[in-house]
Every structure is written in C-alpha cells, then in structure tokens.
Chain A
Amino acid sequence: MGRLILKGVSRKFNGFLAVSDVNLEIADGEFVCLLGPSGCGKTTILRLAAGLDAPTEGELFLDSKKIEGVNDECGFVFQEYVLFPWRTVKGNIEFGPEMKGIRKEEREQIALHYIDLVGLKGFENHYPHELSGGMKQRVGIARAYANSPKLLLMDEPFGALDAQTRNLMQGELLRIWQEEHISALFVTHSVDEAVYLADRVMVMSARPGMVKDIFEIDIPRPRVRTSPEANELRDAILKSLGTEIKRAASLK
C-alpha cells in the first residue's frame, strides 16, 4: 500500500527539459523529502505522481498500477493551501468523502475525526478567510487525509509559515503520519525540515532536473534537531545542495 515508483521519468515543456530521467522508489509508509534549487522540477514531479500531468517519457506506478489520469489515491497538499473559500473547515475536509457519495452522517464523522487529529476543534464552522496560515494548512492536510490516500504529496506545505508555527506543524505532521501510516513525498526548500522529517532525502540538480544525491536518515524519531547526527547530515546535504544552487544561479 502506497508504493510509488518512478521509472525513467522525463517531462518536457515545449522543448524545455524540466525533469530528466528520474528514477525513484518510495516504499510503503516511507517519508521522502525532495530538495533542490528553485525550478529544478520538484512541483513537476509531484504533479506527475498525482496524475495532474503526464510524463513525456517513462512511467509511474502506485502499488504496481500505472498512473494514468488523475490519481485520486494520492492526497495533495499545496503550498498556498488552496482551500475552497466557500466551504467551512468541515466542508473542506468533507469534500473528498462527499465526492465519493458517502452518506452525510458518515462523512461528518470522518471530518470530525480529522478536525480533531489536526487540532482544529472549535473551528469546524469557520471559513478559510477566518483562519491563520498554520490553521489553513492543517485544514489542507486534514482534507487530504480524509480522502484516505495511500500516498501523500506535499508541495512546500509549510513554506508560507513562520519558523515557530513551522516547527510545530512538522511535529504535528509526523504525529499524524505515524498514526495513519501513509507514504509521503514532501517537497521543501529547508534542509532542516528535510532532516527532521524524512526517512530519505533526495537532492535534485537543476536544468534539467535530475536526481543528484540520496541521503538515508536513520535517526530514530522523535528527533532532536541539534543532535550531532542531524548536524552532520545537514552539513552533507547543504554541501550537495549548495553546489547545485550555485550552478543553477550561474545558468541563469
């Protein structure tokens, strides 16, 4: 359940090679972070895995099923929340079950479970514009979870949050992830975040976007952000990423 495989995946946009020959395998229940300079194709990879976009070459599989067309066994969490502004917190979280035709009482129960899980009790009937950034992102995560996905795709979900809220949300995300046991592909710009969250970190190079390095992180959770192992890994990843960012900058 939730095994994602990318086999020689490339994506060209009008002749521009955005992603080139990416091979990646995410094991069931694994948490993988994707790091790389801006424009290296991280969002493109997520959209390909979601089936919102199709590769020009290569194939993607979820649980040995080829991904063709929108893959609604994935949950997508967007950087800018992308909540339905005309729906309340509860209405947003219920959206997936509602589309599946689940009965009202049942989907209400599902919604309340996830509202509780992401700590939004008391805000069920608030509209998105009445929420803070962190709360909106909790709704985004709960909405993805309420659809019982096998794989969670997250595109810099905490990018817009302040450092403190961000740390808090990382902890919450891990708690929910461990409780629900779903595989996750998580895009971030923060090495710190990747080292705190991931089982594996994939560093990408830009133009074309390719897999450059893969780092295994077998520090047991809960992790201490400042532990020597974490620091060591952070240095190694920063180094790998730093040369890429410099190269990407010089290409511009």
Chain B
Amino acid sequence: MKNDNKRNGLIINILSLIGFIIFWHVLVALAREQIFNIPFMRLKDVPTPIETWYALVGSMFTRTYGPGLTYGIINHIEASLVRVIQGSALAFIIGVPVGIGIGYSRLIHNILNPIIEIVRNMPPMAWIPLAIFILVSGGSIFIVFIGVVFPIIINTIYGVRSTDSRLIDAARMLGASQAQIVTKVIIPSAFPSIIAGLRIGFGVGWMAIVAAEMVIRSPVGLGYFIWNMGDLGRYAEMVAGMIVIGVIGYFMNISIVLLQKRVIKWVD
C-alpha cells in the first residue's frame, strides 16, 4: 500500500517534469513560428529544451575557459561549490559558538543581540559593494559567510534555549559541572537544530554566491557563467547554467538531510 503510493508519487513527479519540458518547447516553437508571443518578451530567443541540453552537454565536456570563451561549466561548478563550502565552514565555526554563547548567557545575549538583529536584516546582497570596494580578496566567500552565519546563529540559539530543563536537572544530579552541562547536555541537545540551521544557511549561501559572482565578476563561478553567457547572447548556455544551479542547490539540500539522518540516530 505504502510502496504503491510512493511509486505513484514518483510517476506523477516524472510526468510533471516531462509535461513542463513539453510545454516549454511548444511555447518557444510557437513563438518562433510567430503564432504566439508573450507581450514584452522575446520568447523566440528563449532556447528550447533540446538546445539547452546540447549547450549543457557541450559545456560539460571541456575544461577550457577564458574571456569570451567561457565554457567548461565544470570549472564554474567547482569554483562556486568551493566558495560556498569555505564560506559555510567559516560561518559554522563562528556561528555555532556565538549561538551557544547567546543562547546560554543572558549577558552575551544582551551584548550581541542588538548588533545581530540589525546586521542579520541586511541581505547578503547588500554586502556586495563592501566586498568589492573594501575587501581585497575573498569577496564571494565573505558574501556566502554573511548569508550562512545568521541562520546558523539563530538556530543554535533556538536549540540551546529549547534544551529540556529536566535533562539539565538530571545531569546536575549526576554530578555534571556547569561546563559539562554545556558540552554534554546543551550542545548534543541543540545539535539537530544546529544542523537544521546549516541546511537553511546552505540554501541562502547558494543564492548569495550566484548573486555575488555576477556582480563581483570573478572570472569563474556559476553566477559569472550565466551572466557572461547572457552577455554573449548564448542563451542556451545561460539557461543550462541556471538549471545546473537549481539542481546543485537541490542536491546540497538532500545531502544535508541525509547527513542529518545519519548523524542523528537518536530520533525516530
């Protein structure tokens, strides 16, 4: 019964994807035959799914890139992923202790909260000019960091604060010191929430990196790739790049969900 439902769901998923691709193709084909157009849009310039596919395959199997010949999407994927991972790692290393501090100590909360409340409401994109004009290097990593660190801090605070006070009582009764309560009770208990923060942060970081690479114009990266392809009028590569961005974002999310399931064995 349950398996049947799962299979039916999967079939509908696949049909829906195929349906969308057909709809896309028909729409562009009609526009090219001048039968139909969406006002204010050059629909005929949109690549068809097949053109997009060829562009993707074409750009997949080359590693050459350079001005005007920015091909080799693998290079761009690699560059963006490395930046997101570096920025997220930095955000994790800084965000988790800060979140624990704020969640645990009223004093630290009172000191840091006003700053965090304002800074976290500046979208990562608002930091791009600063990254360009003031930072010497690592601008895109910095933008990712800004995007990732706040979801991690906020989730860590929440995780720390929602630690069951009875668990803390139990630990105290068993002779745990204040420091041991933090390391042996509060952190493990907040752990699922911290990972959830990382997951949200990764999503934000991925959005931020694409925007940052478009503006910062580092010569490699998916954001740069789609912008440059658009600039060159190679719309098929541009759309292929967009799809790659979506698919990678999706798999990043899935991989953290899998990590959650693997690492957090204690919840059913």
Residue picked from A72, A87, A100, A128, most chain B C-beta under 10 Å: A72
Q: Is the CB of B265 within 8 A of A127?
A: yes
How many A-B residue contacts, CB cutoff 8 Å? 64
Q: Judging by beta carbons under 8 Å apart, are B266 and A95 in contact?
A: no
Instruction: Please name the residue on chain A nearest to B173 by beta carbon.
Output: A76
Cβ-neighbour of A75 out of B169, B173, B189 (below 8 A): B173
B172, B173, B176, B191, most chain A CB atoms within 10 A: B173
Q: Assess whether B232 is interfacial by the CB under 8 Å rule.
A: no
Q: Tell me the smallest distance from the CB of A207 to a CB of chain B, in Å.
A: 25
Residues of A with C-beta under 8 A to B176: 95, 99
Residues on the B chain within 8 Å of A84, using CB: 167, 170-171, 185, 188
Within 8 A of A (CB), among B167-189: 167, 169-177, 180, 184-185, 188-189
Give the residue name and chain of the B residue nearest to A72 (CB). B175
Which A residues between 124 and 171 are near B, CB-CB below 8 angstroms? 127-130, 143-144, 147
> Per a CB cutoff under 8 Å, which of A52, A80, A85, A143 touches B172?
A52
Contact (Cβ within 8 A) A52 B173 = yes
Q: Is the CB–CB distance between A99 and B173 below 8 Å?
A: no
**Is B33 at the interface (CB under 8 A from chain A)?**
no
- With most chain A CB atoms within 10 A of its CB, the pick from B174, B176, B189 is B174
Min Cβ gap A145→B in Å is 11
Task: Please provide the chain A residues from 165 to 189 with a CB less than 8 Å away from any CB of chain B in the complex.
Answer: none
Indicate if the CB atoms of A99 and B180 lie closer than 8 Å: yes
CB nearest neighbor in A for B166: A82
CB-CB under 8 A for A143 and B266, given A80-B166, A86-B188, A86-B191: no
**Cα distance A87–B175 in the bound complex, in angstroms:** 17
Interface size class of A (residues with CB under 8 A): 20 to 34
Beta-carbon contact of B266 and A82 below 8 Å: no
The answer to whether B191 touches A70, judged by C-beta atoms less than 8 angstroms apart, is: no
A72 touches B172 (CB 8 A): yes
Given contacts A82-B166, A86-B188, A99-B180, whether A129 and B267 have CB atoms under 8 Å apart is yes
A99 to B184, CA, bound (A): 9
Q: B188: which A residues are within 8 A, CB to CB?
A: 84, 86
Q: Are A127 and B266 in contact (CB under 8 A)?
A: yes
Q: Chain A residues near B177 (CB, 8 Å)?
A: 99
Cβ of B4 < 8 Å from any Cβ of A?
no
* Nearest-neighbor residue (CB-CB) of A75 within chain B: B173
Q: How far is the CA of A130 from the CA of B267 in the complex (A)?
A: 9
The complex places the Cα of A84 from the Cα of B265 at a distance, in Å, of: 13
Judging by beta carbons under 8 Å apart, are B170 and A78 in contact? yes
Closest approach, in angstroms, between the C-beta of A121 and any C-beta of chain B? 21
Residues of B within 8 A of A96 (CB): 174-175
> CA of A96 to CA of B264 in the docked complex: distance in angstroms?
23
**A33: interface (CB < 8 Å):** no
Check if A201 is an interface residue, CB within 8 A of chain B.
no
Q: What is the bound-complex CA distance between A85 and B171, given in angstroms?
A: 13
Q: Would you list which residues of chain B between 146 and 180 have a CB under 8 Å from chain A?
A: 164, 166-167, 169-177, 180
CB-CB under 8 A from A99, the residues of chain B are 171, 174-177, 180, 184
What residues of A have a CB within 8 angstroms of the CB of B166 in the complex? 78, 80, 82
Q: A98 to B180: give the CA distance in the assembly, Å.
A: 10
Closest Cβ–Cβ distance, residue B89 to chain A (whole Å): 23
How far does the alpha carbon of A82 sit from the alpha carbon of B189 in the complex, in Å?
13
A53 — nearest CB in chain B belongs to which residue?
B169
Report whether B167 and A147 are in contact in the complex, using a CB–CB cutoff of 8 Å.
Answer: no
Closest CB-CB distance, A244 to chain B, in whole Å? 27
Task: Tell whether, in the assembled complex, residue A82 and residue B267 are in contact, meaning their CB atoms are under 8 Å apart.
Answer: no
A95-B171 contact given A80-B166, A82-B166, CB 8 Å threshold: yes
Given contacts A95-B171, A95-B184, A129-B266, 9 further A-B contacts (CB under 8 A): A78-B170, A84-B167, A84-B171, A85-B266, A99-B175, A99-B177, A100-B175, A144-B173, A147-B173
Can you offer 18 A-B residue contacts whose CB atoms are under 8 A?
A: A52-B172, A72-B172, A72-B175, A75-B173, A76-B173, A82-B166, A86-B264, A86-B266, A95-B174, A96-B175, A99-B171, A99-B175, A127-B265, A127-B266, A128-B266, A129-B266, A143-B174, A147-B175
